[in-house]
Amino acid sequence: MPSFPGGMEWTLASVFVPLTGALLCFLLPRRAPLLGRLTALLTVAAVLGLLLTVLAEGTQQTALGGWPAPLGILWRADGLSVALMAMTALVGLGVSVYAHAYFRDKHTEGAFFWPLWLMLWTALDALFLSRDLFNLYVTLELVGFAAASLTALDGSAAALRGAIRYLLISMLGSLSYLLGVALIYHACGSVDIVLVAERIGTAPDLVVAVALGTMTAGLVLKTALFPLHFWLPPAHGSAPAPVSAVLSALVVKASFYLLLRLWLEVFDGGGPWLAEFLGVLGAVAVVWGSVAALRQARLKLLMAYSTVAQIGYFFMAFPLAAVGGGAVWAGALYLVLAHGLAKAAMFLSVGSVLRFARHDRIDELDRIVHRLPLTLTAFALAGVSIMGLPPSGGFIGKWLMLEAAFRQGRYGFVAVILLGGVLAAAYVFRVVGHAFTPTARAQRAREVPAAMEWSALLLALAAILLGLLPPLVLPLLEIGQVAVVSGVAAPAGSG
């Protein structure tokens, strides 16, 4: 006798609660801030319920409308999905609390923010749960539409340009992915990931290779891997703070997650040449993104280029995992989770600085540390995770990848991983340093609501705490995963 509410109810709730909330916020714009925060709380509860169910009972499967796999749509919540949904929920809660304070005196923007943001949350949860290649296409497009609309939120020319460029790129990426889906349907006669994985062995090699190529290219474009990252800094740099946080922390992770799923479950590790190619691009992204971040004059663009660099780390896992297997994927996923929490915290604190000083020019930060101590603490703590220092989530991820690179004798990757950490330290300290230095002319400051400071700080603390929890998180990632090899040694469990 399954318990009620069980896996199915939690699964459905984690998508339909934010969907309902989004519609209500759209219909009742005056009540949107209250409804939005309430929805965020309920969604977090639903995801927590699903997380606990998966931890206790393993993978949860839900056939929508009771239709079985070949025709119907299956939602499957395994450890990987639930880990990403939990990260989304944490960031989502932080962003919702922050956004309430942020949009308090900007009613029009606020009225548009809530429905779009909750719709984005819905689409992300649906994407993490879907196991049907076509359904994944639809959720990918929903994520793209919501994200593009959010980018355009403040209506300035820069925001509109960023949003249009982002929308065009996002559509091109999704169509490239859909072309791969068409080829896979031709070869395998199904779009269900499990059925496709069974049949792909007998499919013609050429069709599978082309499908792998188009799907990977589309998703890499959407994840903004160097040199396809050109659209990311203008979009992430021109959006309002809560939106930048969501775009950097969650939206790029969605397409990376999908790519990972495909490589692990459908294409069985992909092609060795393609993996090597992605790894090299990732290494270039780490160095190039970090150097570009160092050279930015504006704080938000610095953060955006830092995201480009961090995305590089995720892709360095592809060639390393071809030999190193599960431990490397676990490391990359750890980095994904840690980066999500840390980058959200950083963009939120940058938003507070922007509100406080009315600008985000790094050279003119004028002793912000005395006046916004909580915000600067949040920024620095999140920076610890981005640099990959212990005891943070970023450290565990980098450590797992570094260990694999050493074992395989890939010293080029070792050097890049270490150099990326040093460069990250350089750009974080550049900001922190200016925050201690008074500028020539004193600046008139504006109050920052406590909710904005605390939500960023709590997210940064979560990124640090993640570094103390590998004994909890690593087994979770393995639930329902065939490819992620069990028995990953928890490195430096207590930091």
Partner 1 sequence: MSQPVFWALVGMALVTLGLYALIVHAHLLRKVLALNIISSGVFLVFIGLARRAPEAGAALPMEPDPVPQAMVLTGIVVAVAATGLALALIVRLRAVTGRTTLGDDTDD
**From the list 155, 272, 409, 438, which residue makes contact with partner 1 (rule: CB under 8 A)?**
155
379 binds partner 1 (CB under 8 A): no
111 binds partner 1 (CB under 8 A): no
Instruction: Write out the binding residues for partner 1, residues 203-262 only, by CB under 8 A.
Output: 234
Residue 4's φ and ψ, nearest 5 degrees, are -125, 130
Amino acid symbol at 245: A
Helix locations, 239-325, DSSP H: 241-246, 252-261, 272-294, 299-324
359 binds partner 1 (CB under 8 A): no
DSSP 200: G
CA 34, distance to chain mean position in Å, is 26
**From the list 75, 98, 113, 137, which residue makes contact with partner 1 (rule: CB under 8 A)?**
137
First to last CA, the chain: 41
**From the list 48, 64, 160, 287, which residue makes contact with partner 1 (rule: CB under 8 A)?**
160
CB of 17 to partner 1, least distance (A): 23
52 binds partner 1 (CB under 8 A): no
**From the list 45, 48, 179, 465, which residue makes contact with partner 1 (rule: CB under 8 A)?**
179
Q: Which is nearer to partner 1, 152 or 463 (CB)?
A: 152
- Among the residue ranges 35-43, 61-69, 131-139, 397-405, the one whose residues contact partner 1 (CB under 8 A): 131-139
- Total residues contacting partner 1 by CB under 8 A comes to 38
**From the list 12, 171, 194, 228, which residue makes contact with partner 1 (rule: CB under 8 A)?**
171
Who contacts 75 (Cβ-Cβ below 8 Å, separation ≥6)?
A: 11, 61, 62, 63, 64, 126, 129, 130, 131
Q: Are 51 and 472 in contact (CB under 8 A)?
A: no
> How many alpha carbons lie under 13 Å from residue 396 in its C-beta half-sphere?
34
97 binds partner 1 (CB under 8 A): no
**From the list 202, 273, 440, 486, which residue makes contact with partner 1 (rule: CB under 8 A)?**
202
Distance CA 322, CA 326 (A): 9
Who contacts 21 (Cβ-Cβ below 8 Å, separation ≥6)?
A: 35, 36, 38, 39, 40, 42, 43, 118
- Among the residue ranges 180-188, 259-267, 338-346, 373-381, the one whose residues contact partner 1 (CB under 8 A): 180-188
Q: Which residues bind partner 1 (CB under 8 A)?
A: 71, 134, 137-138, 141, 145, 148-149, 152, 155-158, 160-165, 167-168, 171-172, 175, 178-179, 181-183, 185-186, 188-191, 199, 202, 234
